[in-house]
């Protein structure tokens, strides 16, 4: 008997896959926070990505509440909120006073101020189906901003020709995540979910393409730098040898000059007493002549 795949079945499959991949993406910062706990300091790290992720997940939770029967959206974003709150708690616990104040301000601005403003406007300004539409557009805009965040990293990769700060695994999982949620939104006819993930898929493919282009660029640069350093060392050694030879020749000339000067001084010293004795003899003769004349 042939299995008939309905739209609901496909939506459930892609929603389930989207939950699994998104959960793995949420766990991607675990090594970073393990390092923070080991160092017992979060100074030097940023809290902005986790605050933005919490804002996005909480908005999608609110959208799922308005949408009704959006179990797949509720599950992953509920788990995501718990994970991001845990990240922020660890960050604040190990942050110094300066970084803690900065993080608190951003959390209050985004996760309290902006989130509260969206909910307040949706409750007071619009009603019925328009409320879901308004929140859906806000969620789509926030998701687009989240997907556009790696553009700065892509620019850095192109400028430095290094993929050090753009891991391939993370780019792959973000692309898979965008793909799953696009098909989920497509099959349930929810374009507030589907459309932002089209941009996410395109940017994910672009990131992986950049990785494949520049993954060996750093090795090539390291090899060129190594060859350049070796050649520079050889040139310096040759130059040092030539300088040593010149120094030896110069020392010989200086020694010869010094020896010549010392010989001249010696001869002068030897001649000076003879000159003094001769002058004394002349004085004696003059005295003798004067006495004779007398």
Nearest to 156, CA basis, from 116, 210, 120: 210
pLDDT at 233: 56
81 within 8 A of 52, measured Cβ to Cβ = no
In Å, what is the CA distance from 259 to each residue of 115, 252, 264, 271?
92, 10, 9, 18
Q: What is the pTM of this model?
A: 0.68
Number of helices followed by number of strands (H, E) in the chain: 11, 0
110 within 8 A of 51, measured Cβ to Cβ = yes
Q: How far apart are CA 22 and CA 179, in angstroms?
A: 11
Could you say which architecture CATH assigns to the domain 7-215? Up-down Bundle (1.20)
pLDDT at 276: 44
The tens-digit pLDDT sequence of the chain (294 residues) is 556 678 888 999 999 999 999 999 899 889 889 988 998 988 888 888 889 889 999 999 999 999 888 899 999 999 999 999 999 999 999 998 888 999 999 999 998 999 999 999 998 988 888 889 999 999 999 988 887 777 777 888 888 888 776 778 878 888 899 999 999 999 999 989 999 999 889 888 888 888 888 887 655 555 555 454 555 555 555 555 555 555 546 655 655 665 555 555 555 555 444 444 444 555 555 554 444 444
Overall residue count recorded for the chain in this entry: 294
pLDDT at 240: 55
pLDDT at 249: 62
Residue given tokens 């699994």 in the structure block: 20
Spans of all domains in the chain: 7-215, 218-294
């Amino acid at each position: 008997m042939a299995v008939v795949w309905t739209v609901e079945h496909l939506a459930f499959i892609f929603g389930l896959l989207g939950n699994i991949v998104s959960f793995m993406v949420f766990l991607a910062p675990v090594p970073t926070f393990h390092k923070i706990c080991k160092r017992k300091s979060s100074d030097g790290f940023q809290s902005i990505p986790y605050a933005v992720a919490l804002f996005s997940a909480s908005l999608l939770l609110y959208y799922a509440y308005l949408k009704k029967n959006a179990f797949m959206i509720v599950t992953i974003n509920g788990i995501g909120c718990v994970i991001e709150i845990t990240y922020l708690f660890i960050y604040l616990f190990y942050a110094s006073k300066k970084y803690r104040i900065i993080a608190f301000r951003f959390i209050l601005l985004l996760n309290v101020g902006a989130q509260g403003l969206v909910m307040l406007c949706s409750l007071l300004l619009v009603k019925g189906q328009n409320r879901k539409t308004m929140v859906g557009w806000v969620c789509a805009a926030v998701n687009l901003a989240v997907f556009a965040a790696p553009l700065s990293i892509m620019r850095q990769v192109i400028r430095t020709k290094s993929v050090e700060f753009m891991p391939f695994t993370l780019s792959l999982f973000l692309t898979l995540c965008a793909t799953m949620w696009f098909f989920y939104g497509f099959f349930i006819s929810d374009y507030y979910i589907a459309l932002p993930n089209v941009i996410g898929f395109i940017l994910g493919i672009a990131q992986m393409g950049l990785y494949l282009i520049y993954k060996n660029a750093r090795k090539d640069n390291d090899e060129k730098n190594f060859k350049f350093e070796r050649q520079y060392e050889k040139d310096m050694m040759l130059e040092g040898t030539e300088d040593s030879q010149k120094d030896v020749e110069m020392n010989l000339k200086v020694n010869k000059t010094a020896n010549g000067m010392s010989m001249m001084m010696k001869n002068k010293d030897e001649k000076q007493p003879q000159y003094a004795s001769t002058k004394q003899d002349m004085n004696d003769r003059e005295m003798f002549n004067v006495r004779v004349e007398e």
